[in-house]
């Protein structure tokens, strides 16, 4: 029988289609399908030696001639920093000029260095770049949200193979983020507790959906996973803003994220995927009820008419089985 599961954090419902459920290994791509890219591409604007092909960088890790991570403005941005922020209201028609900041984080000089294939130090440098951009962009008083995300593979929306992430700073709070903020605040008012912390504690107690535990982070499959192998990474220490991650936590997050992505990479044959850092700008009193985290979603299945029409996703993989499968993948 199928089962409807409720996501306590988002308030959304998910159908876990147990009768249609596949074994976790059935989601793995065949070995021959895994893409093999060269270490350097002459035509790639992100490869070393081609820096002149991209806009002037805003941040760099490494020396003047040999870099490890570069951050540049997106050449084809969704939002523009030179726009004058202005709002227009006409009855029910509301709009804001396309003001915002859109950057690209070039994660590594090597064209084929997806994070699971990097060293621990290279992975930590990516987290360091994430924090630098988050802290820098949130200090703009016109910015209300900073979204750091990665698209890996064409089904996830990437157009360039070279490993990179993106950061978009917007003049509005996205509705999904606002909804979670409201629900977290209501739960805190009713119980005096953080709903994220409670969820993490319950998952650690049950152990059924845990993928990985490190000193500072816990990776698990959500009880109401919207997609096969959706994975959340929560910091053990309560903090509402990613900007407040410590030096030690950055190293541990790099290890945790790299390990989880490696398990997905090797266990499922390098599927296309997205991950995003969910966070509020400041860890102030008004936002204390939030708890920043990372959400990873492999693009193994595609939403269809029912999902589009109802907003209810159908997951054909049991989160408990997916977690067990990933735990057993050796990396």
Instruction: Give the model confidence (pLDDT) of 29-54 as tens digits.
Output: 655 455 567 899 999 999 999 999 99
Q: How confident is the model at residue 32, as a pLDDT?
A: 43
pLDDT of residue 30: 55
Is the model's pLDDT at 28 over the cut of 80? Answer: no
182 three-state secondary structure: helix
pLDDT in tens, 150-179: 999 999 999 899 999 999 999 999 999 999
Query: What is the residue-averaged pLDDT of the chain?
Result: 93
- Provide the annotated active-site residues: 164
Domain total of the chain: 1
pTM for the full model? 0.95
Helix (H, G, I), strand (E, B) or coil at 22: coil
* pLDDT mean over 178-188: 95
Instruction: Summarize the confidence of residues 100-115 as an average pLDDT.
Output: 96
pLDDT at 328 over 60: yes
Domain, as residue range, for 162: 3-328
Of 293, 312, 294, 280, nearest to 185 by C-alpha is 280
The count of other CB atoms within 10 Å of the CB of residue 141 is: 6
Strands lying side by side in the sheet with 59-62: 59-62, 67-73, 101-106, 164-170, 145-152, 273-278, 293-298, 231-235, 217-220, 210-213
CATH code where residue 239 lies:
3.30.428.10
Q: Give residue 305's pLDDT band: very low, low, confident or very high (50, 70, 90).
A: very high
Please name every residue paired with 148 in a beta bridge, in sequence order, or none if there are none. 167, 277
Contact of 197 with 207, CB cutoff 8 Å: no
């Amino acid at each position: 029988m199928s089962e409807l599961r409720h996501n306590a954090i988002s308030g959304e419902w998910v159908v876990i289609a147990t009768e249609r459920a596949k074994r976790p290994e059935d989601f793995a791509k065949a070995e021959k399908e895994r893409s093999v890219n060269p270490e350097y591409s002459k035509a790639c604007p992100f490869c070393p030696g081609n820096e002149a092909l991209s806009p002037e960088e805003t941040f760099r890790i490494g020396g003047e001639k040999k870099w490890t991570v570069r951050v540049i403005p997106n050449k084809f941005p969704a939002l523009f920093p030179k726009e004058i922020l202005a709002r227009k209201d006409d009855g029910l028609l509301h709009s804001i000029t396309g003001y915002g900041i859109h950057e690209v984080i070039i994660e590594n000089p090597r064209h084929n260095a997806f994070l699971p294939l990097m060293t621990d130090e290279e992975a930590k440098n990516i987290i360091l770049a994430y924090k630098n951009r988050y802290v820098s962009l949130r200090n703009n008083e016109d910015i209300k949200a900073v979204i750091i995300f990665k698209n890996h593979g064409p089904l996830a929306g990437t157009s360039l193979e070279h490993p990179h992430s993106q950061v978009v700073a917007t003049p509005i709070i996205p509705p999904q983020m606002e909804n979670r903020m409201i629900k977290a605040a209501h739960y805190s008012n009713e119980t005096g507790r953080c709903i994220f912390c409670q969820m993490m504690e319950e998952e650690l107690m049950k152990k059924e959906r845990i993928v990985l535990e490190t000193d500072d982070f816990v990776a698990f499959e959500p009880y109401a996973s919207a997609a096969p192998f959706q994975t959340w990474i929560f910091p053990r220490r309560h903090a509402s803003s990613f900007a407040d991650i410590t030096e030690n936590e950055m190293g541990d997050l790099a290890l945790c994220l790299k390990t989880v992505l490696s398990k997905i990479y090797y266990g499922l044959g390098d599927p296309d995927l997205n991950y995003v850092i969910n966070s509020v700008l400041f860890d102030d009193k008004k936002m204390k009820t939030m708890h920043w985290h990372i959400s990873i979603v492999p693009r193994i299945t595609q939403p269809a008419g029912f999902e589009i029409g109802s907003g209810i996703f159908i997951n054909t993989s049991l989160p408990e089985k997916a977690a067990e499968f990933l735990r057993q993948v050796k990396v």
